[in-house]
Amino acid sequence: MSDHSIDVPHGLGAAEAKRRIEAGTGQLIGALPAGATVTPGWTGDRLDLAVAAMGQDVSASLDVQERIVRVTVTLPPMLEFLRPLIEQGIRRSGTALLEDKR
């Protein structure tokens, strides 16, 4: 297993970023392969996700901070080749979700 961290910057403040992430969790689940299961759980400003897909278990955490959301993904060796695609998806989706549209 290997951990990979991606920082997604934002200008929303921690409370608004957390609210948007809570509201967008359903979109994340819809973007996963058919049959994937996601178990989310909040502890303060940290969202932990347990994802089971394609016979593999992946864990992720989102630490919501004032200016960034730090996403840490733990991949099993069999999915390590997907790391660049996962990072790209997190950056794209995270930026869109946390874009300040005021």
Tell me whether strands 37-43 and 46-53 are parallel, antiparallel or unpaired: antiparallel
pLDDT score for 2: 80
Percent of the chain having pLDDT more than 70?
95
Residue 98 confidence (pLDDT) above 80: yes
Q: What is the pLDDT of residue 102?
A: 64
Comparing 53 with 18, the larger pLDDT belongs to 18
Residue linked to tokens 């608004």: 16
Can you tell me the mean pLDDT for 41-66?
92
**Regarding the domain delimited by 2-98, which CATH topology (the fold level of the hierarchy) does it fall under?**
Alpha-D-Glucose-1,6-Bisphosphate; Chain A, domain 4 (3.30.530)
Kindly report whether the global pTM for this prediction surpasses the value 0.95. Answer: no
- Across all residues in the chain, what is the average pLDDT? 89
Q: Are strands 56-64 and 46-53 parallel, antiparallel or unpaired?
A: antiparallel
